[in-house]
């Protein structure tokens, strides 16, 4: 039995589809089961609840042997410090998985070994330490910047011919497509032969600066698109103006600062195991339809 968390999220939904296509029995944890399609509800067991809750996770893991683990974003307006949120969210699952011998495939950040503060990324790395410290059989999918983050900028790309981030314009920013994350997660979940603990760094074959991304986006859309770098203090202030909690704004700013300072270079990765989707292909398949809709 494979248990899937966040089954209606971008990654969790794709993982679930691949697990079901692999013929495995699946159980999902869902706060709102009505968001699952009728097709999915007909094929899975549903545990209604929040996967940070000890009773919910215990019920979901009863009789299970594999778990896909993803901590969802904290609330935008009332988020506290990310490290506490990640650890509190994960603690019960780590204890239950260790006690039951459940293999866990989790989503975390690339950058193990980075010594500075990295906000949300530091929180994810602390989560890994918690899971591993509990003695869980664990595969940590260590990820850089999601290409899908740019979908939030589809409107500004369409209307203004620009996208805006605080990442350094001339520093390469490793990326990954969520479909490749889901493929790697499903492969591990469908193979029950592994044990122990290991990190699985994933990144696309590209190593592009935001300026270079803008060039590819321009070529894909057939019109000029520019990258505009926002100073970090302005980035943090704008988040708060839009209603983000001060803690979340600081964690986001610390994350970008760490990206600019090379956090993704801190963890060794083998280029031979680069993921399948390059940035240009993703722009053609995903970003272009989103901008043109």
* Average pLDDT, integer, range 192-206: 95
Q: What CATH code is assigned to 2-147+175-203?
A: 3.40.50.720
Asked if residue 293 has pLDDT above 80, the reply is no
Reported confidence tier of residue 251, pLDDT bands at 50, 70, 90: very high
Looking at residue 7, what is its pLDDT? Answer: 95
Looking at residue 272, what is its pLDDT? Answer: 75
Asked if residue 273 has pLDDT above 80, the reply is no
Looking at residue 271, what is its pLDDT? Answer: 81
Partnered with residue 27 across adjacent β-strands are: 3, 45
State the DSSP code for 273: G
Q: What is the pLDDT of residues 28-85, one digit of tens each?
A: 999 998 898 888 888 999 999 999 999 999 999 999 999 999 999 988 788 899 999 9
3-state secondary structure 117-177: CCCHHHHHHHHHHHHHHCCCEEEEEEECEEHHHHHHHHHHHHHHCEEEECCCCCCCECEEC
* Average pLDDT, integer, range 222-249: 96
Looking at residue 76, what is its pLDDT? Answer: 76
Contact 185, 11 (CB under 8 A): yes
Looking at residue 41, what is its pLDDT? Answer: 86
Structure tokens that stand for 41 in this block? 């509800």
Percent of the chain with pLDDT over 70: 100
Q: What is the pLDDT of residues 20-34, one digit of tens each?
A: 999 889 999 999 988
Rounded CA separation 92/119 (Å): 22
Looking at residue 269, what is its pLDDT? Answer: 84
Q: What is the pLDDT of residues 102-116, one digit of tens each?
A: 999 999 999 999 999
* Average pLDDT, integer, range 217-230: 97
Contact 126, 87 (CB under 8 A): yes
Q: What is the mean pLDDT of the chain?
A: 95
Looking at residue 38, what is its pLDDT? Answer: 87
Reported confidence tier of residue 291, pLDDT bands at 50, 70, 90: very high
For helices 10-21 and 178-189, angle between their N-to-C axes, nearest 10 degrees: 40
All structural domains of the chain with their residue ranges? 2-147+175-203
Looking at residue 42, what is its pLDDT? Answer: 87
Contact 173, 167 (CB under 8 A): yes
């Amino acid at each position: 039995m494979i248990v899937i968390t966040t089954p209606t999220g971008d990654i969790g939904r794709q993982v679930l589809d691949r697990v079901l296509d692999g013929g495995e029995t699946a159980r999902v944890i869902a706060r709102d089961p009505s968001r699952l399609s009728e097709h999915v509800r007909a094929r899975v067991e549903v545990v209604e609840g929040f996967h940070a809750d000890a009773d919910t996770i215990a019920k979901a893991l009863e009789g299970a042997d594999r778990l896909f683990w993803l901590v969802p974003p904290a609330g935008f307006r009332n988020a506290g410090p990310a490290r506490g949120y990640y650890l509190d969210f994960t603690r019960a699952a780590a204890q239950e998985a260790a006690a039951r011998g459940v293999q866990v495939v989790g989503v975390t950040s690339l950058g193990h070994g980075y010594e500075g503060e990295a906000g949300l990324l530091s929180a994810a790395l602390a989560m890994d330490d918690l899971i591993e410290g509990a003695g869980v059989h664990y595969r940590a999918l260590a990820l850089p910047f999601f290409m899908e983050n740019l979908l939030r900028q589809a409107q500004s790309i369409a209307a203004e011919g620009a996208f805006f981030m605080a990442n350094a314009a001339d520093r390469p920013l490793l990326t990954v497509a969520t479909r490749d994350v889901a493929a790697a997660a499903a492969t591990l979940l469908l193979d029950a032969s592994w044990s122990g603990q290991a990190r699985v760094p994933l990144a696309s074959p590209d190593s592009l600066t935001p300026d270079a991304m803008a060039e590819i986006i321009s070529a894909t859309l057939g019109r000029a698109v520019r990258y505009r770098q926002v100073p970090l203090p302005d980035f943090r202030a704008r988040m708060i103006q839009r209603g983000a909690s001060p803690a979340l704004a600081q964690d986001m700013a610390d994350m970008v600062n760490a990206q600019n300072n090379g956090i993704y270079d801190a963890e060794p990765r083998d280029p031979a195991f680069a993921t399948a989707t390059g940035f240009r292909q993703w722009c053609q398949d995903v970003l272009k339809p989103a901008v043109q809709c």
